[in-house]
Amino acid sequence: MAAVSSTTALLLGACLALAPAAWALDKPTDPVVLIISGNVSVTNAGKTAVFSMEMLAKLPQRKVVTKSPWYPAGAEFTGPLLRDVLAAAGAKGSKIVAVALNDYKTDIPFDDATQHDVILARLMNGKPMPVREKGPLFVVYPLDAKPELQSQVYYNRSAWQLARLIVQ
């Protein structure tokens, strides 16, 4: 077996450190805005993974510009990919129950996180979203990216005022 150079070892270590599944969850230092429970293996509050807005902002960010029934002229949403947030919590399953601040619940197939670039939007048009404008978090599908996403099924999965994800 060939010896690994110190440069190669350093690069490999850096890549592994940046892999979403390897992220360690610190304790939030500002208010918790998202709780992930159920089938999670990386926790930071008992048996749950909790995230503050600052923690979500530190994950890689994605922008989605899309029209929707709520914003027919379109809007730009920014936040981490749902799959990256789930990976940070070590989440595995077949279904995610998204729960809003008002206890609205919707089921999201786990595969949606991998098949579509679904984001947990924390900004709309570059600004934080207050509760009265669907914030602080909004599950946003890239509705304009694929015609099949422009249906009531995906509109119903687009939970706003998101507070919890229960992974089953």
Report residue 140: phi and psi, to 5°.
-120, 120
Q: What is the pLDDT of residue 9?
A: 40
Tell me: pLDDT of 14 over 90: no
Report the alpha-carbon distance of residue 162 to residue 74 in Å, rounded. 20
- Domain membership flag for residue 76: yes
DSSP 89: T
Amino acid occupying residue 62: R
Q: What is the pLDDT of residue 16?
A: 39
- Domain membership flag for residue 10: no
- Domain membership flag for residue 1: no
- Domain membership flag for residue 13: no
pLDDT-based confidence at residue 18 (cuts at 50, 70, 90): very low
Domain range for 82 is 23-167
Question: What value does the CA radius of gyration of the chain take, rounded to a whole number of Å?
Answer: 17
- Domain membership flag for residue 4: no
Tell me: pLDDT of 3 over 70: no
- Domain membership flag for residue 150: yes
Report residue 58: phi and psi, to 5°.
-80, -20
- Domain membership flag for residue 139: yes
Tell me: pLDDT of 162 over 80: yes
CATH assignment of the domain containing 38 = 3.90.420.10
Question: Which residue, 139, 133, 132, is CA-closest to 163?
Answer: 139
- Domain membership flag for residue 6: no
Q: How many CA atoms lie within 13 A of 152 on its CB side?
A: 0
Indicate the number of domains in the chain: 1
